[in-house]
Amino acid sequence: MKNLFNLETEIAVVTGALGKLGPVWIEALLNAGASVCALDLAGARVSEDFSRLQGRFEETRLKLYRTDVRSRQSLEDVCRSCLADFGVPTILVNNAGIDSPPSKAAKAEGLEEIPFELNREIFEVNTLGLFQVAQVFGARMVAAGRGSIINIGSLYAGVSPDQSFYDHIPGFLKPPAYGASKAAVINLTRYLATHWAPHGVRVNALSPGGVLGGQDEDFKRKFCNRVPLGRMATSEDLYGPLLFLASQASAYVTGTELLVDGGFTAW
């Protein structure tokens, strides 16, 4: 049974590698034996979590590449580098995205005042950028006849944010474009899954809900009261679901959304 989750011969690509969840996915993949091409923007700061992983793994297992998911040329260049350094990728974790977490420093903005450009940027990265990454790396998987693509969705892809979670933060409004962009990702996942299934490439979505990450106590209390399991997710809660979708344990699973939300959407 252990061999079902063994990734020792696999090569993974993870976008948004330096963000909140990037190191979580990368650590799970590395610990399962995969080699990882980590992608993020040229100006993105190397986080403590990612730096810790660099200290544990040699560049032959983990290497950072700079690119922009909105630039096709940049992605093509990085893909060629990954191919030269590691070989054809067999796993893609489409994680890069823009979110607006609850913060007391958030700019006060009413629904009617949200700038068009903010909506455009969120969709360009979360949806169009994700699709472009899938095009570039998925094409190599199709040519090789195998691969697993995991698009990172969100709890808010299927339900609207409960604004009462944030009403203790003056002026904060969870942007509507975030959930809408993630909902588009779920539909896009199904499209790609059916299109590439004949070529041996599986495409699924993993949608976390409420991951701990420095939220204030009021938010955590209100959110956890709404979750059947009574708590927020930890990084460790995400390892298993990712490895399931990345590995042969899910060989007959494609076109689905795996919700990791503690039961939030069950009632």
| Residue range 2-266, CATH number | 3.40.50.720
Cα–Cα distances in angstroms (integers) from residue 206 to residues 114, 155, 244, 254, 256, in the given order:
28, 10, 10, 12, 9
Question: What amino acid occupies position 73?
Answer: Q
Contact 150, 26 (CB under 8 A): no
pLDDT tens by residue, the chain, 267 residues: 778 999 999 999 999 999 999 999 999 999 999 999 999 999 999 999 999 999 999 999 999 999 999 999 999 999 999 999 999 999 999 999 998 766 544 455 678 888 889 899 999 999 999 999 999 999 999 999 999 999 999 999 999 999 999 999 887 888 899 999 999 999 999 999 999 999 999 999 999 999 998 899 999 999 999 999 999 999 999 999 999 999 999 999 999 999 999 999 998
pLDDT of residue 127: 98
Q: pTM here?
A: 0.95
Give the 3-state DSSP-derived string for the chain, with helices as H, strands as E and coil as C: CHHHHCCCCCEEEEECCCCCCHHHHHHHHHHCCCEEEEEECCCCCCCHHHHHHHHHCCCCCEEEEECCCCCHHHHHHHHHHHHHHCCCCCEEEECCCCCCCCCCCCCCCCHHHCCHHHHHHHHHHHHHHHHHHHHHHHHHHHHHCCEEEEEECCHHHCCCCCHHHHCCCCCCCCCHHHHHHHHHHHHHHHHHHHHHHHHCEEEEEEEECCECCCCCHHHHHHHHHCCCCCCCECCHHHHHHHHHHHCHHHCCCCCCEEEECCCHHHC
pLDDT at 91: 98
HSE (CB half, 13 Å, CA atoms) of 260?
20
Task: State residue 188's pLDDT score.
Answer: 98
Q: Is the separation of the CB atoms in 19 and 12 below 8 Å?
A: no
d(CA 150, CA 162) in angstroms, rounded, equals: 26
